[in-house]
Structure 1
Amino acid sequence: MKKTIIKTARVSLLTALVLSNVSWNSISDVETNPPLLTIKGFTFKDYNRNGKLDLWEDTRLSVDQRIDAIIKEMTNAEKAALLIGTGMPGIEVLTGPVGDSKQGLVPGAAGGTEAFERFGIPATVVADGPAGLRIEPIRENDSKTYYATAFPVGTALASTWNKTLLEEVGKAMGNEVKEYGVDVLLAPALNIHRNPLNGRNFEYYSEDPLISGKTAAAIVNGIQSQGVGTSIKHFAVNNEETNRLTINAHVSERAIRELYLKGFEITVKESQPWTVMSSYNRLNGEYTSARKDLLTQVLREEWGFKGIVMTDWFGGFPGFESIQNGSSSDVVQQMIAGNDLLMPGIPVQKKALIEALESGKLSQEVANANSKRILEYIFRTPTFAKYKYSDKPNLVKNAEVTRNAAAEGMVLLKNEKIALPFADRQKEVSLFGVTSYAWITGGTGSGSVNNKHTVSLLEGLTTAGYKLDKELVDLYKPHAEKVLAADKERRKSKGILALPERLPEMKMEDAFIAKKAASSEIAFVTLGRNSGEGGDRVVDNDFDIAAEEIEMLDKVSKAFHEKGKKVVVILNIGGVIETASWKDKVDAILLAWQPGQEGGHSVADVVSGKINPSGKLTMTFPMKYADTPSAKNFPGIPADNPKEVTYEEGVYVGYRYFNTFNIKPSFEFGFGKSYTTFDYSAVKLSSQTFNNSLTVSVTVKNTGKVAGKEVVQVYLSAPSKSIDKPKEELKAFGKTKALKPGESETLKLTLSPKDLASFLENKSAWIAEAGNYKVLIGDSSENIRQTAEFFVANEIVVEKVKKAFALDTQFTELKP
């Protein structure tokens, strides 16, 4: 599948900083020593040095009163400066000269908000990203280092299905954010996996909104427990990187609400993130950053969101060319929509905003509401509280957190004849595949992390005491170094538009492989894939296995199987690849994902049996790309330079499509094997008739020989008289503790009225139909272990809403 698509913004904005050789000189913060005023025994800071106590300086007053006093005093120019970010050094590489871009207080951070000395308002700092904090690790004239922990990518974290563990990951991320002086982490990212070729799927969690929302909420709760903020992104319907600044997504209101907003709704209601980041794309003809129905009506009025909305970096600009031409985004419409903060902020936007305030085109009422929300955010930051950050987060403890999380997110896709675990340290292991030696920590772009060291598979297995074939290692290491260096040069020559590519495999003769099969007990073969911000993946040699990879698998499998020995494939990938054509050639497949900086140790923990894998897929692995419901509508039309994309598949995304239309996948949603076995019994419903809520309880018993954890998945099959519905939908899940052999645990999972409901556009309401509902309890979306039924006597109108997201073009949605 050749690709001649012109990419708009096919770039990591933060890569631009590296290439621009900016000087990391900090701007001065608010003066630390304003004069003091003493009144009736109380001492206050006189920020504006006027010799009297102004309302905003009076700390006896509520935050609300002080903020209102600041807004009342602010000039139009000050309001504009508050509502526009402070820029981003290095952006000139992309945009051409745009005026003064101030470097914030933390080098490598993505941006921040303005300081106002006379009000005692400091500049705050925001930084990427979803796999951990992204800042510059080395600073000018500074011998100290500022490395952060690279955590597993989003797909790996979500595959744990473990909310407690995810909260621990969030706490570790939050520790680094706070101790490095950052106020908000621009994460987590929870867009739906509409199509497996999306270049940023590695950052996102799932094709299912429940998993996406519960995963994000746990991570947000963890991060924000440390007293710093998050920015859930990209809101909304940002499901491709191709022409991401301009693409117009045509989507029905039902699909928007049931799939593309649902995860955000769960996250907002269960964790109240400090900020939400609006996305780049247009939705039904209008930029999301300018849609009042999205940012005010749904987000704030329906869901009760209390924080600020910021744009993605240059959101609302139709490409970098428009910035180079001196254009501004529609700042008035963005402000009216409820997009409080325009990031990273450039002078042309500030000028447009001041003019709009002066002329009355933007009302003071709107500007004041946006300003108030930003000030409320600033007042809760560590920077405002003058937190003395240490620049010494607990990197040792956090490395342990990421090692455990990566292991728990690994999915055992196949394990014939107990090929795994392989714990024998005396017998030799042959380690094939260039990625075994050029291990992938995570994807590229703003979702990458500047960590100090990545543990490769080679290092992980060696440290765990495995005896690796030395001749193979000595051959592969220089090959891996050579192809990595070549890839680095290729990306350098192509500039910041370059995306990662698959590394070429090493050619090996049959006789050489036969020799390895004779001397080694087992073969581990790693297949690797990487992708990144700013571009989507392709089918040939990326989603599909390359001819040279098939050749390697064929040769290794033939040689080792002839000697009665096993072959294990380890997948070091960020998103879905084709597996159907080759999975029968090998004995075991471990999906290791891109498991962060400790990944090599995590794989060794799992293959040795030290940790029993308990990850489950949060997306479908199709037999072939063409089976994907959105395949014919991705990335859009015209094919060579897409301007629009139509979501004709409606709500039938992922397993909702495969199960409803009886399309057999290679590995289904929710699938994942274990080194032990589990029995499901004693399914009970709290009632046979639904009334406000219903509890499902199930007992899980470990019937195997080793300890392990099981993920229990509750799907619901609802009556579909008033509207077509997927065959079943995930409505609840839970994970057992580590159960010893013979040990049982009873899980209780609750269904709410909204879990029963579908969105009916003709009624602008979430409605649960009357009739029989089937509860399906499984260890995957296909393998249902127990069922039960309950009855809804009368139709339930769960929630009435205002109409939103009117279509800008008519199209026919897929129906069963």
Structure 2
Amino acid sequence: MSTYVGLRRYTSEQDIDAKIGALDLRSKVGLLTGETTWSLPAEPTIGLRSVVMSDGPVGVRGTGGSDEETSLLFPSPTCMSATWDADLLEQAGRLMAYEARRHGVDVILAPLVNIQRTPVSGRHYENFSEDPFLVSRSANAIIRGIQSCGVGVCVKHYVANDSETERIRYISTVDPAVLRAVYLAPFERALEEVQPASIMAAYNAIDDGVESNRATDHHHLLTDVLKKELGFQGPIISDWTATLTTEESANAGLDIVMPGPDGPWGDQLVQAVEKGKVDESLIDDKVRRLLRLADQVGKLGEHVPAKLEASDHTVLLDLATAGTVVLKNHNSVPLSTPPSSLALIGPNAVDAYVQGGGSAHVNPAHVVSPEEGMHRAFPDAKITLAQGVNSRIHAPALSAERLSDPAGCPGVLVRQYDKDGHELSSETQAWRGKVRDLVDGAETIRLTGNINLPEHGTHRIGLGHVGTHQLTLNGNLVEQFEREVGDDVVLDSSINHPLTNLFEVEGGSSVTFDAQFSVVHSLWGNFALAYLRHELPGPTDNQRIQESVQTARKADTVIVMVGTNDDVESEGWDRTNLDLPGRQNDLVNAVLDVAPDAIIVVNAGAPVLLPWLERARTVLWTWFPGEVCGDALAAIMAGEKEPSGRLPWTLPSRAEDVPIPNAIPNDESRVLYSEGLNVGYRSFGMESGRVPACSFGHGLGWSTWEYSNATCERCDDGWTLSVDVKNTGTRESREVIQAYAVPTNPTIALPNYWLIGYTKETIAPGGQNTIKVEIPRHTFRTWDDSDHQWVNVHGTYRILIGRSATDIRAQVILNN
């Protein structure tokens, strides 16, 4: 790993203070709310240019200036952490920084360092792990890569923001020692090791035993802990629309309110200062933090951002393959010989899920499908594709090619009306779910035209919109719905995934339609989104399954791809269960009945139950692999890349074994963190009675291993574990050597056991290396809330060394 330099400063603190002194109160306050959804105001009199932000963490989407703007689509953060490879993640960070500069972005709103506390969390896939140590290692590597290139990060979401249900209302109620050891730990490690440019305050409230308040208003966590105790020097930025107060948030320590130009600060904050309710020195501190950020990213004074050379895009393929986890392998992967016939079966084989839903969404220029990737790797193979079952909650989008306006021209007639019903514009557009060129003052949109349905049989048509809308088909009003909406539908992502009622129409000709819907006004801007959905006449799931079985019978290699989709895993809501959507389990069982050697590929970001796992012989977990989806799968099947990933969370066998099955707030809007320190795998194994389907850290890769001669020595920065590791397989392979601590006779609250170190090593077949695992000095400590400090927990610990949290190959005793 390269020596980390981090973001450079070009302007002295003295010069920054002089710039602050040159501004009056109103000018200073004006800098602290966004000028637009994604940018901060400029102030030419002090040489401040606009700082531009954009969402991460799977790519840099840009600022929405063009619907045609495309971005590199990285694998999901769960896939990244599954590599357990800090060097590779640092390379990914550098590529992300290049993407940021290509889009004119100064600060990437990533990474997320929250804990995967419950597997049903809607943003589970956007976070790294259920373990704070692995979260820190993964996040800090990416931050190193990004900030070493002069681009800033905004680490989020501070803090205990670990679920989506009622996400702007719930109160995370966490014991102080647990908050410090688990949920604050990644933020603290980031500040200590990589100095992130900015931090984002979350939507939720936190009761940490000292103060119960919204994250944006929490003086103890923002000022006492983050700024004073941990010494954070950058700005704390609100999550978008999270700030609801003026003087409370300003006094608490929040520095920047997003988005703009409206919000609770502005004139109200100026008045609060003038009335003595907010001290002007606090405003100066906020501006100082903003100017430090601008200075670091090249937006203050004469220094400008350096032009970055294009990074190696092959890192995307390396991430996707190194993150793929082999759950089981019956000598099926890689394929021993190129197949002559190959069956790709399953809904995710037809339409792979390559990224989660919500604010992390980016628009890639091209996604390599599984079929395309396999054709490229095995050009002589006959490849047959079968959907198997329908796994979607929503019907597919209506193809734009089926639409014509009332005059018969391609597209739909789009008319915009003001609040009084006066027509503002009328033009024919190609409809892809969004009004092109929304007119100022538009309140209602009307779409009219024809839907070409030449296929005979019963079609189902619907209009998806979160607010007031109505739909007429062939002159018949089939739906009328009234509901006023605003910021809430953006916050819960329902604006992008509206529930849609479908109405039957007979095919064989064209259908006329008239769709009217309201414009949604929010702090993010005004949106005119509506989704025409269409379900074709077609086979039932039973018929599809039978077709898949026949396809499997005829192929000499069978790959079944199952998983989730953006109807299931998305920001804005939590899942209600851990089941694969639709009848995918029936599909897998039916195929295994006739093709027991079928390779099962799970394309999901968060845990799903696999009731057929014991009977399947080969199972891969590919996460959301990004735009290289098909190439990554093909490279693994062809033996060109090893799937060397390890699970960053626990895969449960049964829903009832999940320690935190949901995060539904109680009647007092509280989410109680009652599990204490034993989050995730710490509640499995040992004497818990819970036996996971696959343990935290599990992954077979391409080889088998022997461990021997484990020792432990004290060093200046902690301890060094040493163990001999031998590759007993026939292929070169990468092993992840993991170390866990078990307290023997604890007299103070500690986890049941916990990850304390790991390293990754490539070893030739038959080779043996002596591997060193460094254990940090702060490993054996706990937070003493009575003295408000960390204390070293002396005692004897069993150190378990192995391949996962339960596959232990060696042990040593460590005396602290």
TM-score category, normalised to shorter length: 0.7 to 0.9
Shift of 1:481: 15
Q: Distance in 1 between matches of 2:257 and 2:583?
A: 47
Instruction: Name the counterpart of 2:707.
Output: 680
Aligned equivalent of 1:341, options 250, 256, 259: 256
- 1:537-563 CA-partner distances (Å, limit 9, x unpaired): 121xxx2135621221121111123xx
Instruction: Name the counterpart of 2:168.
Output: 245
DSSP-derived class of the 2:733 partner? coil
Q: Residue 166 in 1 paired to residue 81 in 2?
A: no
Q: Distance in 1 between matches of 2:807 and 2:33?
A: 51
Instruction: Name the counterpart of 1:570.
Output: 601
| CA separation of 1:654 and 1:467: change in aligned 2, threshold 3 A | farther
Which is richer in strand?
A: 2
DSSP-derived class of the 1:571 partner? strand
Aligned equivalent of 1:127, options 54, 59, 75: 54
Kept after mapping to 1: 8 A contact 2:349/2:385: no
Kept after mapping to 2: 8 A contact 1:430/1:520: yes
| CA separation of 1:698 and 1:300: change in aligned 2, threshold 3 A | farther
Instruction: Name the counterpart of 2:157.
Output: 234
Shift of 1:717: 1.3
Q: Residue 437 in 1 paired to residue 350 in 2?
A: yes
Q: Distance in 1 between matches of 2:217 and 2:548?
A: 60
Q: Residue 67 in 1 paired to residue 67 in 2?
A: no
Instruction: Name the counterpart of 2:182.
Output: 259
Instruction: Name the counterpart of 1:697.
Output: 722
Q: Distance in 2 between matches of 1:62 and 1:548?
A: 60
Q: Residue 313 in 1 paired to residue 240 in 2?
A: yes
Kept after mapping to 2: 8 A contact 1:136/1:146: no
Aligned equivalent of 1:526, options 546, 557, 561: 561
Equivalence map 1:147-296=2 (5 Å):
147-284=70-207, 285-296=212-223
Q: Distance in 1 between matches of 2:74 and 2:496?
A: 21
- 1:601-653 CA-partner distances (Å, limit 9, x unpaired): 1111112221122110111111222322222x622224xxx822111111121
Kept after mapping to 1: 8 A contact 2:650/2:681: yes
Q: Residue 582 in 1 paired to residue 612 in 2?
A: yes
- 1:219-250 CA-partner distances (Å, limit 9, x unpaired): 00000111110001001000111221111111
Instruction: Name the counterpart of 1:331.
Output: 246
Shift of 1:387: 7.3
- 1:45-64 CA-partner distances (Å, limit 9, x unpaired): xxxxxxxxxxxxxxx99522
DSSP-derived class of the 2:671 partner? strand
DSSP-derived class of the 1:298 partner? helix
Instruction: Name the counterpart of 2:676.
Output: 650
Instruction: Name the counterpart of 1:550.
Output: 585
DSSP-derived class of the 2:287 partner? helix
Q: Distance in 1 between matches of 2:709 and 2:173?
A: 45
For 1:709, the aligned partner's letter is R
Instruction: Name the counterpart of 1:407.
Output: 321
Which runs of 5 or more structure 2 residues have no equivalent in the other structure?
Answer: 1-8, 400-432, 434-460, 468-492, 500-534
- 1:440-494 CA-partner distances (Å, limit 9, x unpaired): 1110111111211111111111111166655545x78999999533698878434
Kept after mapping to 2: 8 A contact 1:159/1:618: yes
Q: Under a length normalisation based on structure 2, what TM-score does the superposition of the two structures give?
A: 0.78
| CA separation of 1:315 and 1:425: change in aligned 2, threshold 3 A | same
Q: Residue 734 in 1 paired to residue 752 in 2?
A: no
Instruction: Name the counterpart of 2:35.
Output: 86
Kept after mapping to 2: 8 A contact 1:189/1:204: yes
Q: Distance in 2 between matches of 1:505 and 1:761?
A: 60
Instruction: Name the counterpart of 1:16.
Output: none
Q: Distance in 1 between matches of 2:83 and 2:766?
A: 23
Aligned equivalent of 1:624, options 635, 654, 662: 654
Equivalence map 1:465-504=2 (5 Å):
465=378, 470=383, 472=385, 484-485=396-397, 492-494=464-466, 497=494
DSSP-derived class of the 2:811 partner? strand
Q: Distance in 1 between matches of 2:382 and 2:388?
A: 11
Q: Distance in 2 between matches of 1:774 and 1:290?
A: 42
- 1:47-86 CA-partner distances (Å, limit 9, x unpaired): xxxxxxxxxxxxx995222211121221111111112221
Q: Distance in 2 between matches of 1:668 and 1:413?
A: 10
Q: Residue 591 in 1 paired to residue 621 in 2?
A: yes
Kept after mapping to 2: 8 A contact 1:655/1:668: yes
| CA separation of 1:149 and 1:647: change in aligned 2, threshold 3 A | same
| CA separation of 1:422 and 1:374: change in aligned 2, threshold 3 A | same
Instruction: Name the counterpart of 2:767.
Output: 743
Kept after mapping to 2: 8 A contact 1:553/1:585: no
| CA separation of 1:138 and 1:601: change in aligned 2, threshold 3 A | farther
- 1:496-516 CA-partner distances (Å, limit 9, x unpaired): 515669999954367644543
Kept after mapping to 1: 8 A contact 2:41/2:51: yes
Q: Distance in 2 between matches of 1:609 and 1:84?
A: 52
- 1:764-798 CA-partner distances (Å, limit 9, x unpaired): 33233332121111110001111111223xxxxxx
Q: Distance in 2 between matches of 1:398 and 1:279?
A: 34
Instruction: Name the counterpart of 2:407.
Output: none
DSSP-derived class of the 1:710 partner? strand
Q: Residue 637 in 1 paired to residue 666 in 2?
A: yes
DSSP-derived class of the 1:342 partner? coil
DSSP-derived class of the 1:202 partner? helix
Q: Distance in 2 between matches of 1:114 and 1:538?
A: 42
Q: Which stretch of the first structure deviates more once superposed, 162-171 or 366-375? A: 366-375
- 1:709-738 CA-partner distances (Å, limit 9, x unpaired): 0111111112444223222110111111x3
Aligned length in residues: 676
Shift of 1:385: 6.2
Instruction: Name the counterpart of 2:441.
Output: none
Equivalence map 1:717-796=2 (5 Å):
717-736=742-761, 738-792=762-816
Q: Distance in 1 between matches of 2:74 and 2:540?
A: 27
For 2:166, the aligned partner's letter is N
Which runs of 5 or more structure 1 residues have no equivalent in the other structure?
Answer: 1-59, 89-110, 317-328, 793-816
Q: Under a length normalisation based on structure 1, what TM-score does the superposition of the two structures give?
A: 0.78
For 2:593, the aligned partner's letter is K
| CA separation of 1:153 and 1:471: change in aligned 2, threshold 3 A | closer
Kept after mapping to 1: 8 A contact 2:157/2:202: yes
Kept after mapping to 2: 8 A contact 1:479/1:506: no
Aligned equivalent of 1:381, options 274, 292, 297: 297
For 2:675, the aligned partner's letter is E
| CA separation of 1:62 and 1:135: change in aligned 2, threshold 3 A | closer
Q: Distance in 1 between matches of 2:748 and 2:21?
A: 51
Shift of 1:744: 2.9
Q: Distance in 2 between matches of 1:366 and 1:519?
A: 72
Q: Distance in 2 between matches of 1:207 and 1:505?
A: 39
Q: Distance in 1 between matches of 2:238 and 2:62?
A: 20
For 2:123, the aligned partner's letter is R
Kept after mapping to 1: 8 A contact 2:11/2:295: no
Q: CA RMSD, aligned part only?
A: 2.9
Q: Distance in 2 between matches of 1:698 and 1:221?
A: 29
Q: Residue 607 in 1 paired to residue 607 in 2?
A: no
DSSP-derived class of the 1:77 partner? helix
- 1:10-49 CA-partner distances (Å, limit 9, x unpaired): xxxxxxxxxxxxxxxxxxxxxxxxxxxxxxxxxxxxxxxx
For 2:215, the aligned partner's letter is T
For 1:168, the aligned partner's letter is Q
Which is richer in helix?
A: 1
